[in-house]
Amino acid sequence: MLMELRDIFDRNCSELAAQRRTDEDLARMRECIDRLKALTEQPNASLDDMLQADLDFHRAIYEATGNKLIMTVAEFVLNMVAPWVRKSLDVSGRVRAVDLHEQIYDAILKREIGPQNRMSVDANMKHFMQSLDQE
């Protein structure tokens, strides 16, 4: 149920962010991706630091919606999924997470909505779910 909620939430927030984002929002998203990328290139990087960068990226998307209620609900959703995001990063997602976040960022940057935007979110969710099935 939580993963369905996250999927619905991320799809719609990504589209809303694409419509409303500012240059400052894009800069926050970019910083999170760059931080995550730098961490993935360090062999002994802290998984907790990677998790923080990953979650901060999603927070930046939620902030870009300009809707304070979304931010409130987002914190609840992020706190609930954080253990699974951490597991995903640990199992298979360190490098792939950067690429998937880049795709979402690109869709928001280009103000894509509809299928173009949803494809990037779908790819992220598919990878996330597959990595949770691995052990």
pLDDT digits (tens, 9 = 90+) for 14-60: 999 999 999 999 999 999 999 999 998 898 889 999 999 999 999 99
What global pTM score does this model have?
A: 0.85
Sign of the torsion angle spanned by Cα atoms 74, 96, 129, 107 = positive
Domains in the chain (CATH in brackets) are: 2-133 (1.20.120.530)
Task: Please report, for residues 25, 95, 103, the alpha-carbon distance to residue 29 in angstroms, rounded to integers and kept in the order given.
Answer: 6, 17, 12
The pLDDT assigned to 135 comes to 46
CB–CB of 100/123 below 8 Å? yes
> Tell me: the pLDDT tens digits for 55-73?
999 999 999 999 999 999 9
Q: To the nearest whole number, what is the mean pLDDT of the chain?
A: 85
